[in-house]
Amino acid sequence: MRRWLGPLGLVAPILFLLIFLFPPACSGERLPLPRLAQAQERQLRAWLTKHGKSPEEYVVSKFADHDVVFLGEYHRIRHDPLLVQGLIPVLHANGVLNLGLEFALARDQSLIDSLLSAPAYDEQLANRVFWNQWPWWGYQEYVDILRAAWRLNRSLPPDAPPFRVLGLNAAGDWSRVWSQEDLRNPEIAKTIRPEGSSDSVMAATILREIVGKHEKGLVYSGIFHAFTCFHQPYPGGPGQPVQFNSTRMGNRVHAAIGNRCCTIFLHAPWIGAGGYDDLDVYPAGGVIDALFAGMPPAQRRVGFDIAGSPFGKLSGSTSYWGRSIPGFRVEDYCDGWIYQMPLSQYEGVHVVDGWFNEQNRLAAIAQIANPDPRVKSRDRTVQDLTAALAEDTDFQRRFARLR
């Protein structure tokens, strides 16, 4: 994938963020799964039987020959942060002492360290860590990652090394942006994250706090940040060809340490062939979803390699990746995959109880990433804001067309 190079437009990171905040509306039609040829199905099943592991075993296994493992998600899917919570004691037991989070700030590391070493868990401080990163990420299952790390540390003998959660992200201030013109203004764009872009700060933190200390770490983030060898395509200007982003967090870490890092994708839809405003589609052309649809539920929760496996040769012709990249294969996208259940069974995370209140309502409105709804939201109530935060977690609606 190193051949797919291209400059990153100033508005591209904002565009990708808005896709997750305000996803396209769902179509009422069910998207069919492909019918697998018997030979292909037998080959994929046989490979899973021989090489598949539980998600926890699979993640830990990647540290045998990697220092940094990126775990990339779609966002707000409940079983993903629950998996990370459950991984924390498993990682520690296997000598992996660091978990990097997109959802906390690098500059708040002292707060996180004090929380995880405290004799009693401070729920208000945990909420503050997540609020500081962005008021629009008030989801209990993510905040409880800190609780899981604190609980582990409290259970350790005095001479055991503690587990550390690393805040990775750059501080941001969306209140400076009040129009689409502001979004396109390079000078204003620079003021959103004065410390640097999210990807640059997150990569620098990983290289300093994990690689630089000769340790190992799991990094949990949105999949776009987690790309290592894959250079994410995005539309060029009018009449311009597709461009490619080679400066994501994972891209930067890979440039520094090569194949000592890898990317695991948490099963989720891909962007449709029409681009970032298109409806979601099955990843890998639906072959993986079709395969697991025909398997007993007890065999569906599994992690497996993409690189060097028959899964890696699958295409994604129905996705934006397949449309933008000639000869695209799943092995170009990631190194590993974790499947837990059909997309139609996905549930969203829960909003932290009392996350918004009259005292923080206006501060939250000022940090809405899209200026258009923010300008119209100054009179929104606490109940309105809470409902908006919860709406993004309604996967029965968002994935209604997927099986």
Per-residue model confidence as pLDDT tens digits over 212-225? 999 999 999 999 99
- For residue 238, pLDDT beyond 50: yes
Q: What is the pLDDT of residue 27?
A: 52
Q: What is the pLDDT of residue 168?
A: 98
Spatial neighbors of 81 by CB under 8 A, at least 6 apart, are: 139, 141, 142, 144, 145, 220, 349
- For residue 25, pLDDT beyond 70: no
Q: How far is CA 281 from CA 26, 73, 146, 271, 371, in A?
A: 11, 15, 33, 6, 28
Q: Of the candidates 243, 332, 244, 316, which has an alpha carbon nearest to the alpha carbon of residue 283?
A: 316
Spatial neighbors of 158 by CB under 8 A, at least 6 apart, are: none
Question: What end-to-end distance do the CA atoms of the chain give, in Å?
Answer: 31
What is the pLDDT averaged over residues 353-368?
95
Q: What is the pLDDT of residue 22?
A: 44
- For residue 10, pLDDT beyond 80: no
CB environment 8-43: b (16+ within 10 A), e (fewer):
bbebbbbebbbeeeebeebeeeebebeebeeeebee
The architecture of the domain spanning 12-21+36-398 is 3-Layer(aba) Sandwich (3.40)
Would you list the domain boundaries of the chain? Answer: 12-21+36-398
CB atoms under 10 Å from CB of 135, counted, come to: 21
Quick one: pLDDT band at residue 376, thresholds 50, 70, 90? Answer: low
Q: What is the pLDDT of residue 26?
A: 53
On whether the CB atoms of residues 104 and 357 are closer than 8 A, the answer is no
Is pLDDT larger for residue 119 or for residue 372? 119
Q: What is the pLDDT of residue 4?
A: 29
On whether the CB atoms of residues 265 and 72 are closer than 8 A, the answer is yes
Secondary structure of residue 369 in the 3-state scheme: coil
Q: What is the pLDDT of residue 258?
A: 98
Q: pLDDT digits over 298-351, tens only? A: 999 999 999 999 999 999 999 999 999 999 999 999 999 999 999 999 999 999
Quick one: pLDDT band at residue 400, thresholds 50, 70, 90? Answer: very high
Tell me how far apart the 2 most distant CA atoms of the chain are, in Å.
63
Q: Of the candidates 216, 219, 263, 259, which has an alpha carbon nearest to the alpha carbon of residue 94?
A: 216
Q: pLDDT digits over 142-184, tens only? A: 999 999 999 999 999 999 999 999 999 999 999 888 888 888 8
What is the pLDDT averaged over residues 2-26?
41
- For residue 272, pLDDT beyond 60: yes
Q: What is the pLDDT of residue 210?
A: 98
On whether the CB atoms of residues 284 and 330 are closer than 8 A, the answer is yes
68 has which bridge partners? 217, 261
Q: How far apart are CA 78 and CA 379, in angstroms?
A: 30
Spatial neighbors of 280 by CB under 8 A, at least 6 apart, are: 23, 24, 269, 270, 271, 272, 398, 399, 402
